[in-house]
């Protein structure tokens, strides 16, 4: 069994996705470095400009868990909308 597949089995969908994202897959462009993650958090409104270094560390250490959770929420919403006949075109 491959390593990522094992993580999905051992940790469930969110834990497996978190593990996969932390491996920096080339098919999705996510911030990598501390400063990039903090800048991203500012852009999406997760943190204000004046937060403590300790809070920034918490944001960085939980970044892939946060992203995995959001991706799964979007995924579940799309599945629910499809099941209810409310599928919309998904564009960025």
**29-57 tens-digit pLDDT:** 999 999 999 999 999 998 998 899 999 99
Q: What is the distance between the alpha carbons of residues 24 and 29, in angstroms, rounded to a whole number?
A: 8
Is 40 among the domain residues? yes
Is 27 among the domain residues? yes
* Average confidence (pLDDT) over 54-73: 95
Number of domains in the chain: 1
> Which of 51-55, 62-66, 86-90 comes out lowest in average pLDDT?
86-90
Is 62 among the domain residues? yes
Is 91 among the domain residues? no
For 9, 13, 24, 29, 57, the CA distances from 37, given in Å and listed in that order, are 28, 23, 13, 12, 10
Is 90 among the domain residues? no
- Asked if residue 58 has pLDDT above 90, the reply is yes
What is the token pair recorded at 72? 């799964």
Predicted local confidence at residue 4, as pLDDT? 79
Domain limits at 50?
A: 3-83
Residues 6 or more apart in contact with residue 81 via CB below 8 angstroms? 87, 88
* Average confidence (pLDDT) over 51-67: 96
pTM (predicted TM-score): 0.78
Is 37 among the domain residues? yes
Is 14 among the domain residues? yes
DSSP summary character for residue 62: T
């Amino acid at each position: 069994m491959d390593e990522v597949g094992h993580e999905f089995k051992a940790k469930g969908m969110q834990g497996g996705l978190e593990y996969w994202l932390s491996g920096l897959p080339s098919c999705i462009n996510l911030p990598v470095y501390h400063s990039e993650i903090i800048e991203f958090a500012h852009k999406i409104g997760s943190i204000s400009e004046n937060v403590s270094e300790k809070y920034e560390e918490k944001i960085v250490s939980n970044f892939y868990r946060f992203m995995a959770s959001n991706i799964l929420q979007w995924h579940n919403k799309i599945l629910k909308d499809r099941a209810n006949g409310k599928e919309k075109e998904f564009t960025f």
